[in-house]
Amino acid sequence: MSNIKNILKKKLATIPKDWGVAELGKIGQSIIGLTYSPNDIVDHSGTLVLRSSNIVGNHIDYSDGVYVNKAIPEKLIVKEGDILVCARNGSRGLIGKNAYIDKISAGNSFGAFMSVYRTSSSPFVFQFFQSEPFRKQIYRNLGATINQITTKNLNEFIIPFPPLPEQKKIAEILGKWDDGIETVEKLIAAKKKLKKALMQQLLTGKKRFKEFEGQEWEHVNLENLCKIKTGKKDVNEGNSTGEYPFFTCAKEITYSDTFSFDTKAILIAGNGEVGHCRYYEGKFEVYQRTYVLHKFCRCDIAFLFQYLRLFLERKVQREKQQGAMPYMKLGLLTHFKINLPPQKEQQKIASVLNAADKEIELLNNKLQALKNQKKGLMQKLLTGQIRVKV
């Protein structure tokens, strides 16, 4: 144990003298998930198999469910207090993401690319699983070609281990922060749902403002409302030191030493994140497969941006599901149909939707602040820099 404590001091953090150190395999058990075949999959009458996509924000989300009809060993049925961990995934960044199994989630199973960690100290261990020391141990154990952590890897992870009363108090304090974070997350989800409903009603004309009732909408091609250009620069010319934003087909931004545009524009990814829309005003550069919509006429840019975010992205998603859109052709944009209200109605619709976006943005800022505050507190509590009274 003294050797493990030395490792902890070097790789994790300095801990109080009265704290212990443990390997996860010594205080609990890691269990690999259920293997099943396509023939085992049934409708909702079967047993839900929890997968990586069911972990959203350290909680279980049921919107993407796979159900099976087969005999499942008792140890592969999750219990309240289990910690579900993503053990294998095509994306390295998802390895180690985890969720706490509560009363509602108990009784389900979990897939072969997942692990469950089962321990009597699960509230405290779960908080450790959200920490940077846990992430560092994951990164050190990821294979060069296979993105996974094995049960053997997980069992060998080390954790600072305070006395049980202190464990409970730390978990209780951090759990209250989790409750606050979850409350804001639910509020954001509700606001997004309301925004989507507003978009559907206002952008289709199903809901009209009284002052505009009776006025006709036009049905026009996008090319009649703006100029559509593509970038010419190679994606490799983006860098981290340039002055001007350099937009590619991904959501990330790099920078360029030059700019080709100095305008208000809607940017649309032609491949990569196909159909992703972004608004920008100022000087910028774009990759050759990013479409730039500018020099608008007869339409309000804010209205058009909201319209494309709903209907263009929806069209792209449908075609992706059918396997028909690895990239976006210019013709799809030029001939994309827009239902265009009178310009004053466009502006009013845009103002309502922009206000909803602002509310969501403020809530997202609040959420990030809470997460940052919890992260700072967690660092101090889980290393004993701040001691709790028990």
Give the mean model confidence (pLDDT) for residues 9-30. 82
Higher pLDDT, 8 or 233: 233
* Level-2 CATH architecture, domain 162-216+341-390: Orthogonal Bundle (1.10)
Residue 9: what pLDDT?
Answer: 52
Q: In the chain, pLDDT over 90 holds for what percent of residues?
A: 72
Asked if the domains at 2-161 and 218-340 fall in one CATH topology, the answer is yes
Amino acid 63: pLDDT: 87
Mean pLDDT of the chain: 90
Interval 96-114: pLDDT, tens: 999 999 999 999 999 999 9
Domain parsing of the chain, residue ranges:
2-161, 162-216+341-390, 218-340
Q: C-alpha distances in angstroms, 214 versus 7, 152, 208, 210?
A: 75, 69, 9, 9
The confidence score (pLDDT) of residue 15 equals 84
Cβ atoms of 250 and 271 closer than 8 Å:
no
CA distances for 239 relative to 85, 200, 236, 255, 345, angstroms: 36, 39, 8, 5, 41
pLDDT tens digits along 275-295:
899 999 999 999 888 999 999
Q: Is the pLDDT of residue 178 over 60?
A: yes
pLDDT in tens, 23-60: 999 999 999 999 999 999 998 889 999 999 999 988 89
Task: Check residue 307 and give its pLDDT.
Answer: 97
Which pLDDT score, from 0 to 100, does residue 13 have? Answer: 54
- Pick the more confident residue, 237 or 209: 209
pLDDT of residue 2: 47
307-361 per-position pLDDT tens digit: 999 999 888 888 777 776 678 889 999 999 999 999 999 999 999 999 999 999 9
Q: Decide if domain 2-161 falls under CATH 3.90.220.20.
A: yes
User: Over 70: is that where the pLDDT of 371 sits?
Assistant: yes
Mean pLDDT over residues 182-199, rounded?
96
Q: Which alpha helices (H) appear in the chain, and where do they start and end? A: 2-11, 24-27, 122-128, 132-141, 151-156, 164-202, 301-321, 330-334, 343-381
Q: Which residue has the higher pLDDT, 179 or 13?
A: 179
Alpha carbon separation from 256 to 263, 308, 320 (Å, rounded): 16, 27, 31
- DSSP assignments along 32-95, one per residue: E-B---GGGEESTTSEEEE-GGGEETTEE--SS--EE-S---GGGS--TT-EEEE-B-SSGGGT
Q: Among 21, 40, 42, 58, which Cα is nearest to 163's? A: 21
Burial class (CB in 10 A: 0-12, 13-18, 19+), 144: exposed
State pTM to two decimals.
Answer: 0.83
| pLDDT number for residue 129 | 96
What pLDDT score does 1 carry? 44
Query: Could you give the maximum distance between any two Cα atoms of the chain, in Å?
Result: 81
Q: Judge whether residue 14 has pLDDT over 80.
A: no
Per DSSP, the three-state class of 122 is helix
**Cα–Cα–Cα angle for 248, 251, 256, nearest 5°?**
40
pLDDT at 317: 80
Write the class of the CATH domain 218-340.
Answer: alpha beta
Report pLDDT for 242. Answer: 85
**Cβ(158)–Cβ(22) under 8 Å?**
yes
